[in-house]
A and B are shown apart, each in its own frame.
Chain A
Amino acid sequence: KQEVTQIPAALSVPEGENLVLNCSFTDSAIYNLQWFRQDPGKGLTSLLLIQSSQREQTSGRLNASLDKSSGRSTLYIAASQPGDSATYLCAVFAGTYKYIFGTGTRLKVLA
């Protein structure tokens, strides 16, 4: 059974730091992996999607990597800003309808 784990559960950093959020999964048979951002009282916004054949994706200050063989993905945030404060979730897509979500990392960037 696929399990997705995100460590740490919470993270607090000063503004300007580069940081890495981790996502691990137990079954490498995935189609893709998505990183989402969740703001309080709001839905999930898709940040980056990495297909199983890809190693990384970049969007602005965000870079996500995928290592299927080791069951790991990282989300790198460069030059963090207070506006980056949110909960970040990863989800693996196992095909058809099945997304398995991690429990998220709650990030706080201090001004």
Chain B
Amino acid sequence: DIQMTQSPLSLSASVGDRVTIICRASQDISNSLAWLQRKAGRAPESLIFHASSLQSGVPSRFSGSGSGTDFTLTINGLQPEDFAIYYCQQYNSYPPTFGQGTKVEVK
């Protein structure tokens, strides 16, 4: 199985900050990478697919980049509703696998 490693596992930030989360795959996954957001008590929400394509309805302050093994999720201008846990997921090969998650907390 492809291992997905995220860093950092947690970070503290303030509203308005630029936040960057890194995801690394154990082997080349091309651009078959998604980012999702999970808030307590709510359904996880898919943010980005194909490494950089925004899911419909997702604010443009979210952006993704990367290909191969190294990927980045950036939030430009963190908003109060963005404090959550973020996961990357590879869908290049079976089985789909996820990163450990990065918790974005209030500084």
Q: Do A and B bind each other?
A: no
